Structure 1
Amino acid sequence: MLDTVRSVLPASAVAAAPEAPGEGNVGMYRERIVHATLRPTEVSQVQELVKVFGGPGTPCGLHAISTGRNWGLGSREPATDNAVTLDLSGLSRIRTLDLDRGFAVVEPGVTQGALAKQLSGTGRILNVTASSAHTSVVGNGLDRGVGLRRQRVDDLAGLEVVLPDGDLAHVGWWPEEHRSTAVYSHGLGPELTPLFSQSNLGVVTAAVVRLLPRPEAQRTIRLSFTRNSLAGATDAMRRWVSQGLVGGVLKVYDVVSAELYGGRVGEFLAHISVDGTDASARAVARVIVEEAHGTGLFTEVHDSAVGTGSDDVVVRMVESAYAGDPDNNDALLEATLGQTAEHIDAEGTGWLFFLPMVPFSGQRIAEAHELLGRVFEETGVRAGCTVNALSSDIIDFVVSIKFQRNDLAAGQAHSALERCYELFAERGFIPYRLDIDHAEWVDRLSTDSRALQLTRDLKTFLDPNGAIAPGRYA
């Protein structure tokens, strides 16, 4: 099969064996058997490669990655053994940047740092995540990552997809060369774009990414509170979110997560973004500050304009990211793991993530923290948590587990991760992303077996030979 591949790609783009065997991944998941890495630079090459692997008698699966920085969930490793990695980082063009209509067409190798840099000084910003500036916009969006403004899947207006037979399809909204249409992803008839999120039905080679208007003014309110005030403080913040006072994703770091990320420790710390015109941002910030003082729940209330300076690495990152700038993200990454983005998988501290959704209420979030306490009692591993409020009803409860990079500590960390899956699922707190060692949990967590079978029927119809990302979410 590699002989056929070499007729599609230059020799330099085909690595017949792992180039750095034993390089590992930051989560210390079991390394899968990967026979080769292919690095196309053109969509036409991707089409030809998918045809090769999509044919009958395919001896191994094709595992597509964008930049491979799926840290804490498996990095660049596939879900199953016997795979060939399709590394799309060489597809790195920003094809279109339309500031008037608010979209960019980008390929999988475009990082959030590269796109944000193109938007600097314009009237648009990118919904950036708290992860490294070197992570992929497309890859993270397809896996439903969470930005500082909203869940990133909501940024995807349209996709360019190579189907298992090698055909190219544009689903959702796609710009037309000879006329200007409204950026409306739903279109007519059944909406197809969501089919390719957390999907192994095709290989995405480009996406239409929505860009947000840049706020005229932006302020960040920081609120500190103790564990005893967790439920009450959460309900107070939920009220502000539900009444439209909060711009973007409200973030709360617990004591452990603040320590893990290199910030100040001692109490919970919430970050609330307020933006709009200068007058409206000041007025709303004043309301939140006055009400926060009035609750008696918060030990410290701080209001400042973004960019006024702070020596706390977490504060600097959050304020910049709210403004669409990921430049401070990597300083936080290095403070957390002691390594740059290029070396995280090879050396340094270990890192795991567990990502459940939890109802946004003081009682339910307190319950989630109690579960983390049980994990600590049973395994000796103290996990950190960051709350990301996606709306007034639901939060992304990011559980992070940092560990020393040795077999004993890794075993303990993975035992803690396993207990998180078990305990949170029992309580109804279901993860919205799975790591590679828990791919089979899609069966255990599915609310309707017939719906899951429908997904598998679509897979069988489109990809009868199971060539694309076997075992991934299906």
Structure 2
Amino acid sequence: MSEAERWLREWSHRLGATGQADTGANVGMFRTRRVLGTLRPADVEQVRAILRTAVPGVTLHPLSTGHNWGLGSREPVRDGAVLLDLRRLDRVRHLDLDVGAAVVEPGVTQGRLAGLLAGSAYMLNVTASSAHTSIVGNALERGVGLRRQRCEDVAGLEVVLADGRLLRLGSWPDGQGRVVPYRHEVGPALMPLFAQSSFGVVTAAVIRLLPRPRALHLVRLRFGAGRLAEVVDELRDYRGQRLVGGVLKIYQSGDSEECTAYCCVDGDPELAALARDLLLRRAGGSGLFDDVCAHPGGEQLPDQLRRCLGGDPGGNEAVLRDWFGTTSGGVDANPGTGYLFFLPLLPFRGAAVARARTLVRQVGAETGTRWQATVNAISGDVIDLAVSCLFPKTGAARAHQALGLLHRRFAEHGWLPYRLDVDHMTAGGPPEVLGRLKELFDPRGVLAPGRYEPDAG
């Protein structure tokens, strides 16, 4: 028995139980990596001890709930890792409803925190994914909520370094529980180094909450795909003039030539009503839309969006049942349907979005796969294009061929993903600088080898 195997056996005995000695199925049908086992610490001190005592030959792949669907789920980048499953770290350590901040561990799900906030003056920036996904894990991957990008929610991080040292960065509650949820640091900022990296294990985060709007309207705008470029430019103007709040979304179902935009208008009831009516007049008078509706309801998608915009992800499980015939716990192991995600950033310009739609359709036609591109306007100048593919698991090879083509075709236009899957996880920064940072924070190379590292070539 090797030194690494003895270390794993000792820690497994100390923790009482381990998970399976593999990652299990993944809905993206990525290659299953070989893992040595799974450790599930129950608190931060156990995480510190695991890292501090790691012997040569041990590498650790941290994960929160493991619901990184379409991008690899629980899979590490390379073979030979021990999974460090943090789902038992599930405390809401602090909840301040005076200033709007929560301190949560990686096992805290968005559904749980949203439930704690129900009826209060604050809400969580939730995503359209399952209520059972991790807040911390998604924020560290720079996921996108219905209000803003999740990394903008983070005001502080608790990080365990590879030698077991504990750092608290950014805005952190003092001994009396007081916190000012300012999301920047004084002097050189360290918090961003621990998002999309392998420099440390994040064991808690200070999450900035959002004031709950007293009124919320959802405006639906339908139009033909041939007018996509013009509509995107029109919507950019609405966004720039603050007629629309949150993340503006444009959907196109399958091969349909009809597109639908959903615009959130919210805030003080009187102000929101005036803004809604102004948006309806502007959209109706533009000549670009075939249908303008102020109160879409009774359909799954707008109802789900409305709930998410109001900080409630409880309706999202219905989508999983429709797609995979199961709830969140069964997505990866479902027998028939695979799922892939490609997430490039585009300029908020109609010509760019229309060209991207063409690229997606071309790749689908070349590979015999079907991809859906959803426009998420995360700011007044940037589009997160969420490109997804539901495919029969028997057709995984074609789906992955298409994924590779999407990476290449979009890169040729200068449109790179902001979040990567385990087969394409190459960092974009200067290799020498990133290498020196890795040596500083993790000189033994214990943490997540290959995760957002420079291309060795």
The TM-score by the shorter chain falls in which range?
over 0.9
Q: Which amino acid aligns with 1:220?
A: L
CA displacement at 1:336 relative to structure 2: 2.2
Change beyond 3 A, Cα 1:179–1:378: closer
Q: Which amino acid aligns with 2:349?
A: S
TM-score (norm 2): 0.95
Counterpart selection for 2:241 from 240, 243, 252 = 243
1:405 aligns with 2:393: yes
Mapped to 1, the partners of 2:414 and 2:16 lie a distance apart of 45
The share of aligned pairs that are identical, in percent, is 47
CA contact (8 A) 1:317 1:329 kept: yes
Mapped to 2, the partners of 1:175 and 1:120 lie a distance apart of 23
- Alignment correspondent of 1:423: 409
- Alignment correspondent of 1:357: 345
1:51 aligns with 2:52: yes
Counterpart selection for 1:437 from 423, 431, 439 = 423
Q: How does 1:337-356 map to 2 (within 5 A)?
A: 337-347=324-334, 348-356=336-344
Mapped to 2, the partners of 1:180 and 1:373 lie a distance apart of 52
Counterpart selection for 1:166 from 152, 164, 185 = 164
Q: How does 1:111-126 map to 2 (within 5 A)?
A: 111-126=109-124
* CA deviation string 1:25-58 (max 9, x = no partner): 00000000011000011100000001122x5xx2
* CA deviation string 1:64-91 (max 9, x = no partner): 0000000000000101101000000000
CA contact (8 A) 2:171 2:179 kept: no
* CA deviation string 1:423-468 (max 9, x = no partner): 00010111001100112x43xxx3x5xx332122110122111110
- Alignment correspondent of 1:262: none
CA displacement at 1:349 relative to structure 2: 1.1
CA displacement at 1:6 relative to structure 2: 5.4
- Alignment correspondent of 1:15: 18
1:390 aligns with 2:390: no
- Alignment correspondent of 2:287: 296
CA contact (8 A) 2:114 2:123 kept: yes
**Greater mean deviation of Cα atoms: 159-168 or 184-193:** 184-193
1:459 aligns with 2:438: yes
**Greater mean deviation of Cα atoms: 332-341 or 290-299:** 332-341
Show structure 2 runs of 5+ residues with no match: none
* CA deviation string 1:200-237 (max 9, x = no partner): 00000000000000001110001111111101111111
1:313 aligns with 2:311: no
1:380 aligns with 2:380: no
CA contact (8 A) 1:9 1:40 kept: no
* CA deviation string 1:72-130 (max 9, x = no partner): 00000101101000000000000000011110000000000000000000000000000
CA contact (8 A) 1:16 1:35 kept: no
Give structure 1 regions of 4+ aligned residues with deviation exceeding 3 angstroms: 1-14, 178-181
Structural RMSD (CA): 1.7
CA displacement at 1:23 relative to structure 2: 3.6
1:331 aligns with 2:318: yes
CA displacement at 1:17 relative to structure 2: 4.7
Change beyond 3 A, Cα 1:9–1:382: closer
CA contact (8 A) 1:17 1:35 kept: no
Mapped to 1, the partners of 2:71 and 2:449 lie a distance apart of 17
* CA deviation string 1:158-181 (max 9, x = no partner): 000000110100011111013735
Mapped to 1, the partners of 2:283 and 2:398 lie a distance apart of 40
CA contact (8 A) 2:65 2:85 kept: yes
Q: Which amino acid aligns with 1:94?
A: V
- Alignment correspondent of 2:229: 231
SS at match of 1:461: helix
Q: Which amino acid aligns with 2:378?
A: L
Mapped to 2, the partners of 1:128 and 1:242 lie a distance apart of 23
Change beyond 3 A, Cα 1:466–1:152: same
Aligned residues: 449
Q: How does 1:184-203 map to 2 (within 5 A)?
A: 184-203=182-201
Counterpart selection for 2:207 from 203, 206, 209 = 209
Change beyond 3 A, Cα 1:98–1:9: farther
Mapped to 2, the partners of 1:183 and 1:11 lie a distance apart of 37
Show structure 1 runs of 5+ residues with no match: 260-264
Q: Which amino acid aligns with 1:379?
A: T
Mapped to 2, the partners of 1:91 and 1:108 lie a distance apart of 6
TM-score (norm 1): 0.92
Q: Which amino acid aligns with 1:91?
A: L
* CA deviation string 1:174-202 (max 9, x = no partner): 11013735222323211111110101000
Change beyond 3 A, Cα 1:235–1:270: same
Q: Which amino acid aligns with 2:445?
A: G
CA contact (8 A) 2:225 2:257 kept: no
Mapped to 1, the partners of 2:297 and 2:177 lie a distance apart of 47
Q: Which amino acid aligns with 2:181?
A: V
